[in-house]
Amino acid sequence: MSSTSLRTHSCGELTAKHAKKSVTLCGWVNTRRDHGGLIFFDLRDRYGLTQIVFHPETNKEIFALAETVRPEWVLQIEGTVEKRGKDAVNPKMFTGEIEVTATRLTILNKAKTPPFEIDSPKEVSEDLRLQYRYLDMRTARMQKNIALRSKVFQIIRSYFTSRDCLEIDTPCLIKGTPEGAREYIVPSRVYPGTFFVLPQSPQQLKQLCMVGGLDRYFQIARCFRDEDLRGDRQPEFLQLDFEMSFPKQEDVQEIIEGSIVEIIKACSEKKLKGGKVPRYTWQHVMDTYGSDKPDLRYDLPIVDVSALAKGCGFKVFEDALSLKNGVVRALRVPGGATLARSEIDTWTALVRELKAKGLAYILFKDDGPQSPLLKFFREGFLAELEKATGAKKGDALFFAADTFKIACASLSRIRSEAAKRFELIDESVHALFWVTNFPMFEEADDGSLTFCHHPFTSPNMEEWKHRKENPLAVHSICYDLVLDGYELGSGSIRIHDPVLQAEVFEMLGISPVDQERRFGHMLRAFEYGAPPHGGFAYGIDRVVMILAGEPNIREVTPFPKDQKAKDLMLGAPAAVPAEQLKELRIRMEEQE
């Protein structure tokens, strides 16, 4: 600590080597104990706890003042470091060998009784914690998470700077280009009737940095998305954005992968599964795990049994195969024969939320297979299923018979539920891997084409030649990085040729007028010598959440919104004065 500080040491650094030294500590009263004429405080700051003891014979005036002190009061303590007796040592505390005998007590600030006990083992409602976030921040859990978050920031900055990247900040008031998630809009007072938006990401701006010849860019960027929240999502969040000129896909992947591996090595006791970062195609992970972000800390593969199911006798399977992109797939769950009917019903409800019609199953009990399906199967079909899936006594088979998309989503969900139910997840490792070769386009609900990544993603040029014959067969030079079942982020090689960009817009049904209105600034920039470029972005909050082992992103965000996108501490969003709305020429419609 600085000699000009109100304290000489923190509450987490004194040990037996400091015995007999005079020290000054500052902090909050964590606990207070009155033991037969002695008063003990545990004084807390960000660095730890130190036990303070008050003796009545040392100074009656100080002792009397100590009797008035309550938890969470802010104190300055002067005293002498003393070794504790052998029986009094607390091995759970770094400072457990010593205590400080107080010779002076200064009350820097009193505190009301907090609405919850700091670091109490009792569970506190999340709403209460978020409402009093400044108190929640005093807990060991939050201080550890925020320190981890800070450490990740420093690793990122050091890593990318050492690789000749420039940290370039981009604006938070930009032009809206409707794509992806819904944007937050900001009205302009100076230009009534016009609006800025808050960026979903600095995607276009970092590409323009490449046009500007800046070659390698990175930024810890604040992004905003007005979308429904999940446990791993916030309306505003931080992501690492990276862009480089003249790369191949592997160049971007190597740099991004290196940053995540460095973060994991510095911030986690867990090792990478297999010691390396494998790469899989999108088709492979969808076929094998039903998801483009599977958790590979456990091995529960999905098996396509469509060929076997033709003519199997079970109408549900055969009807599914008559659909466009219809498939029949099976998931073997080791130990699944012990599942109760109520658990299977719960899983069935989960897949129905994903638009599946139901969840067919076979339980391989000790006295033989059990299932309502068996009476429909042609002779020999069950044996063929057992051979194809490896199912044996004690297992369960679950089936999805639907379109490719619904079947994948359904069995991916069951795969996840089964891994938790039967404790199949290897919690001692991290599973980090790349997913590549994504489709360029997908069909929207109305049958039109939409982009899978963003409209600046470069297609596979060999496939692009045949785009009009089958646009859904075109793949993009796009790549995702997945960690423990979470998509950390996405990247791609970008389109730098204005002619190719116009062709992509045409395939997406974006008219020349809309191209100019939405992306005119980008198209003009590309006319002035845009280099080949590519990049990536990953969510920093999500990385910290995984490394901290927290159940949701709010636990690692200093000031998060709740699950309904409200700031319970500040009371936002909130109404603004009518005068301010009038100045912005905004009129509120009365709501029913």
Confidence of residue 1 (pLDDT cuts 50, 70, 90): low
What's 300's DSSP letter?
-
Residue 3, pLDDT score: 56
- Per-residue pLDDT of 209-240, as tens digits, reads 999 999 999 999 999 999 887 778 899 999 99
Burial classification of residue 538, based on how many CB atoms lie within 10 Å of its CB (0-12 exposed, 13-18 middle, 19 or more buried): buried
Residue 292 CA to residue 489 CA, distance in Å, equals 12
Please give the CATH number for the structural domain made up of 142-279+433-563.
Answer: 3.30.930.10
Write phi, then psi, for 539 (nearest 5 degrees).
-80, 115
Is CATH 2.40.50.140 correct for 16-109? yes
Q: Per-residue pLDDT averaged across 424-437, rounded?
A: 97
Element (DSSP H or E) covering residue 272: strand 271-272
All structural domains of the chain with their residue ranges: 16-109, 142-279+433-563, 299-425
Residue 178, pLDDT score: 63
pTM more than 0.85: yes
Is CATH 3.40.50.1950 correct for 299-425? no
Confidence of residue 591 (pLDDT cuts 50, 70, 90): low
Contact 369, 363 (CB under 8 A): yes
For the cut 80, the answer to whether the pLDDT of residue 447 exceeds it is: no
Task: Please measure the distance between the N-terminal and C-terminal CA atoms of the chain and give it in whole angstroms.
Answer: 60
Q: Per-residue pLDDT averaged across 488-506, rounded?
A: 92
Confidence of residue 566 (pLDDT cuts 50, 70, 90): very high
Residue 292 CA to residue 10 CA, distance in Å, equals 47
Q: Which long-range contacts (CB under 8 A, 24 or more apart) does 584-587 make?
A: 584/187, 584/188, 584/189, 584/192, 585/187, 585/192, 585/193, 586/187
From 575, 498, 492, 507, select the one nearest 530 (Cα to Cα): 498
Confidence of residue 2 (pLDDT cuts 50, 70, 90): low
Dihedral in degrees, nearest 10, Cα atoms 131, 137, 138, 139: 90
CB contact burial 228-250 (16+ within 10 A = b; e otherwise): ebeebbbbbbbbbbbbbbebebe
Residue 445, pLDDT score: 74
- Per-residue pLDDT of 499-529, as tens digits, reads 898 888 888 888 888 888 888 888 899 999 9
In sequence order, what DSSP letters do the residues of 441-456 get, joined into one string?
A: EEE-TTS-EEESS-TT
For the cut 70, the answer to whether the pLDDT of residue 246 exceeds it is: yes
Residue 534, pLDDT score: 97
DSSP bridge partners of 28: 44, 74
- Per-residue pLDDT of 265-275, as tens digits, reads 999 999 999 98
Element (DSSP H or E) covering residue 341: helix 341-352
Burial classification of residue 465, based on how many CB atoms lie within 10 Å of its CB (0-12 exposed, 13-18 middle, 19 or more buried): exposed
Residues belonging to the chain: 592
Tell me if residue 483 falls in helix, strand or coil: strand
Residue 354 CA to residue 406 CA, distance in Å, equals 7
365 vs 184, 305, 369, 370, CA distance in Å?
55, 22, 6, 7
